[in-house]
Amino acid sequence: MNQHYFSALPLKVELLDNLESLGFNNMTAIQEQSLPPILYGKDVIGQAKTGSGKTAAFGLGLLNKLDNKNFNVQALVLCPTRELAEQVAIELRNLARGIQNIKVVVLCGGTPKKVQIASLENGVHIIVGTPGRIEEHLELGNLDIDQLNTLVLDEADRMLDMGFQASIDNIIRFSPIQRQTLLFSATYPDEIQTISQRVMKNPMLIQIGLDEQKPEIEQRYFKVKDDQQRMIALRSILLEQRPDSTVVFCNTKNDVKAVADELKKYGFSVLALHGDLDQIDRDQALIQFANKSTSILVATDVAGRGLDIKELDLVINYHTASDPETHVHRIGRTGRAGNSGKAFSLYSEKESYKISRLAEYLQIHIEPTKLPDLSWLKQPAFKPPMATLQLSGGKKNKVRPGDILGALTSNNDINGDDIGKIQVAANWSYVAVSRKIVETAYHELSNGKVKGKRYKVKRIS
């Protein structure tokens, strides 16, 4: 029997017949590699890009062991947004068509709790939803997951990115120790490894398409005559590349301030990171940059220590690094998690010896690249894709990321895909929203309530 076919798996006849009626015969790579251990009952971490068929992988696994006569929650699927939760629920219902009376309920912000409570009262097999709303129902006693046998974290990297770590931990405290945990993610950052060590038992790691995702850093070196041409080169590179996120490294804090001020003068979205900043200003600068509501961060090496920004498009060495190791450390901040990245370095004749030393260290031949055409300077500065809103409530007010997500999506005016990182501090919360809907988001949060209370809202970028 061909191992690529679903028919090769020990699935219920009803599931196999339904798959055939849906025209699903061949398995995708993630299904072929993850379904056998999932059906065997093992915990699995699956890393694969969106659209790889992971929903069917965990969906068939949880449906295969579901007892349709037991109207207690047997499977729980956590998703980062309402839109994804609804898509997952639709696919699970399609996969379960051959099994009678399977009840799937979606629990997300944006729907009144009373409606959701009514859906839960008559019994349910599978819950799909966002961590914040599921946590609320658990704490209020509306939801019982004592008989849960499968917990799925779908798009786990996005959930952690949006600030749902604490809610996920709390949900897991409500769930039985004896359960199967399945975690699916497009990337495999350190946070995924950390959470898997805490909540999974000897998980099998399955990574699909990593050969296509090897990090690549395109390096270019631009020779400039003097400091005036150095700034012109920086501006023209930024206008030509138009990156969502760039770190510009300078060698001194005075240079950092001067470069940031000059870029700001030309309309760029830029923040400076240097030793004179107090912790609050530093934290807020990093939040805005990580949120992609500020496009450019100008920093010294010292101030940039501990800087961990995912999906950094471009690193620019405004000044050549003092030594080759520092150069490698600087450019290593781009091209992470399998993404490609770019690292451009500006140098003058006085810095040529550093470039020669770097070439020897890297065992490469470095030729200067032609500077971008000056016509780029006529282009207006570009705006970042996101904006950041600050709320005057945080952990001390028991505000959670799910509360903010629910408040923003409650009237269906805002799509979950337009919401980025949500970070909750002790007294403040920050949420990134798409720049095109920032006014709507501001209005929703200013005029609505978060967890039954009104908070002041301020746009900080």
3-state DSSP assignment of residue 336: coil
List, for residues 100-142, the tens digit of each pLDDT value: 889 999 999 878 889 999 999 989 999 999 999 999 999 999 9
DSSP 369-425: PPPPPGGGGGSPPPPPSEEEEEES--GGGT--HHHHHHHHHTTSSS-GGGEEEEEE-
The answer to whether residue 311 scores a pLDDT higher than 90 is no
Domain with 112 in it: what CATH number?
3.40.50.300
Q: How far apart are CA 116 and CA 101, in angstroms?
A: 19
Same domain, 34 and 169: yes
In the prediction, which pLDDT does 187 show?
77
Q: Which of 15-19, 188-192, 197-201, 229-233 has the highest mean pLDDT?
A: 229-233
The mean per-residue pLDDT over the stretch 374-401 comes to 92
What is the per-residue burial (b if ≥16 Cβ within 10 Å, else e) of 314-325?
Answer: bbbbbbbbeeee
The answer to whether residue 178 scores a pLDDT higher than 90 is yes
List, for residues 34-73, the tens digit of each pLDDT value: 999 999 999 999 988 767 789 999 999 999 999 999 999 9
Evaluate whether residue 205 is within a structural domain.
yes
Q: How far apart are CA 383 and CA 269, in angstroms?
A: 7
Q: Which two tokens stand for residue 209?
A: 């398409």
Evaluate whether residue 43 is within a structural domain.
yes
Domain coverage including residue 157: 6-212
Same domain, 40 and 150: yes
In the prediction, which pLDDT does 310 show?
65
Same domain, 303 and 398: no
The answer to whether residue 344 scores a pLDDT higher than 90 is yes
The mean per-residue pLDDT over the stretch 142-158 comes to 94
Q: Side-chain half-sphere of 296: how many Cα atoms within 13 Å?
A: 32
Number of domains in the chain: 3
In the prediction, which pLDDT does 413 show?
82
DSSP 224: -
Evaluate whether residue 32 is within a structural domain.
yes
Same domain, 269 and 418: no
DSSP 137-196: HHHHTS---TT--EEEETTHHHHHHTT-HHHHHHHHHHS-SS-EEEEEESS--HHHHHHH
Evaluate whether residue 1 is within a structural domain.
no
The mean per-residue pLDDT over the stretch 137-166 comes to 92
Q: How far apart are CA 426 and CA 137, in angstroms?
A: 24
Evaluate whether residue 166 is within a structural domain.
yes
Same domain, 359 and 313: yes
**pLDDT interval class at 351 (50, 70, 90):** very high
In the prediction, which pLDDT does 402 show?
85
Same domain, 354 and 220: yes
Contact 209, 52 (CB under 8 A): yes
Of 97 and 412, more confident: 97
Q: Side-chain half-sphere of 158: how many Cα atoms within 13 Å?
A: 21
Q: Which of 163, 197, 212 is the last residue of a domain?
A: 212
Q: How far apart are CA 396 and CA 401, in angstroms?
A: 13
The answer to whether residue 303 scores a pLDDT higher than 70 is no
Same domain, 301 and 165: no
Same domain, 248 and 109: no
Q: Which two tokens stand for residue 347?
A: 């140098």
**DSSP bridge pairs for 183:** 45, 153
Beta-strand pair 429-434/386-391 = antiparallel
Q: How far apart are CA 98 and CA 384, in angstroms?
A: 48
Q: What is the pTM of this model?
A: 0.67
Of 309 and 210, more confident: 309
Same domain, 34 and 61: yes
DSSP 73-132: --EEEE-SSHHHHHHHHHHHHHHTTTSTT--EEEE-TTS-HHHHHHHHHT--SEEEE-HH
Of 263 and 307, more confident: 263
3-state DSSP assignment of residue 329: helix
**Other Cβ atoms closer than 10 A to 308:** 11
Evaluate whether residue 79 is within a structural domain.
yes
Same domain, 174 and 280: no
Rounded to a whole number of angstroms, the distance between the first and last alpha carbons of the chain is 59
Q: Which of 212, 237, 272 is the last residue of a domain?
A: 212
Q: How far apart are CA 255 and CA 246, in angstroms?
A: 17
Q: Which of 177, 212, 247 is the last residue of a domain?
A: 212
**DSSP bridge pairs for 223:** 347
**pLDDT interval class at 2 (50, 70, 90):** very low
The mean per-residue pLDDT over the stretch 193-217 comes to 79
The answer to whether residue 323 scores a pLDDT higher than 90 is no
Evaluate whether residue 341 is within a structural domain.
yes
Same domain, 32 and 97: yes
Same domain, 208 and 218: no
Contact 185, 156 (CB under 8 A): yes
In the prediction, which pLDDT does 212 show?
47
